[in-house]
Structure formats: structure tokens, C-alpha cells
């Protein structure tokens, strides 16, 4: 079946270090991917997206890498800050059907001061 999964449920990093959060997806028809950040009691917040015709996209302090060969997606956060502490989800959808996002279970990022 369709699934998007994350490799680690919890990631703990030191403030100022770089963080890498990984995601594996199984639906080869997926061609649009999004990373969301969710803080306690709030809805998912859009971070960055990437289409399957790209393998890398950069934002402010964040980079998303896509490896379609092994169906792997990663989110890199540079100079991690305490405010980055949250649960991070990757989500995927086929471009031809932009209705349904399929989410993984999430990775909790803990930033130690």
C-alpha cells in the first residue's frame, strides 16, 4: 500500500549543529513532496516542497534532497535553533491528483541548548 515513513521517531541535536531528518516513500507515482513542521497544539506549518523533476531545493536554513532511485527524501536544517524543536512530517502526492497528501508518522526534533 501507499506509505511515507520516517527513519527515526526522535532526533536530538545540539543547538548550532545541522540536523538531517529522513523520509522513505513507497509510491513511485508520487511526484510532489512537502515537509511540514508541527508544534504542540498547532497545525502543520509548510516548510519547503520539491517536485520530482528536481533533486535539491534550498530555502532559508533548510534544504530538501530527493533521491527517486531509492525513494528517499531528507530535510536538512542548518544551524539548528531551539525554535526548531517540533515534529517534522514529510508528505507526498502524485502531481496529477493534488487532493490527497499522504503523511508519515513524523520525527520529533529536540534541540539541546
- What residues make contact with another protein under the rule CB under 8 A? 4, 32, 34, 36, 41-46, 49, 51, 89, 91, 95-106
Question: At its nearest, how many Å lie between another protein and the CB of residue 9?
Answer: 9
Question: At its nearest, how many Å lie between another protein and the CB of residue 98?
Answer: 6
Q: Are 32 and 17 in contact (CB under 8 A)?
A: no
Select 49 or 65, whichever has its Cβ closest to another protein: 49
* Angle CA 18–24–44, to nearest 5: 65
Select 32 or 72, whichever has its Cβ closest to another protein: 32
Q: Are 4 and 35 in contact (CB under 8 A)?
A: no
Select 4 or 77, whichever has its Cβ closest to another protein: 4
Q: Cα(96)–Cα(89) distance, rounded to whole angstroms?
A: 22
Interacting residues of 36 by C-beta distance below 8 A, sequence separation 6+ = 44, 45, 46, 47, 88, 89, 90, 91, 103
Question: At its nearest, how many Å lie between another protein and the CB of residue 17?
Answer: 25
Select 79 or 95, whichever has its Cβ closest to another protein: 95
Amino acid at each position: 500500500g501507499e506509505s511515507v515513513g520516517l527513519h527515526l521517531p526522535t532526533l536530538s541535536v545540539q543547538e548550532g549543529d545541522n540536523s538531517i531528518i529522513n523520509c522513505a516513500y513507497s509510491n513511485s507515482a508520487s511526484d510532489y513532496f512537502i515537509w511540514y513542521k508541527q508544534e504542540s497544539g498547532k497545525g502543520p506549518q509548510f516548510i519547503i516542497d520539491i517536485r520530482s523533476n528536481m533533486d535539491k531545493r534550498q530555502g532559508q536554513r533548510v534544504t530538501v534532497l530527493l533521491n527517486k532511485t531509492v525513494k528517499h527524501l531528507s530535510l536538512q536544517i542548518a544551524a539548528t535553533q531551539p525554535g526548531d524543536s517540533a515534529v517534522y512530517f514529510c508528505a507526498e502526492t502524485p502531481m496529477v491528483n493534488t487532493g490527497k497528501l499522504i503523511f508519515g508518522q513524523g520525527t520529533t526534533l529536540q534541540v539541546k541548548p
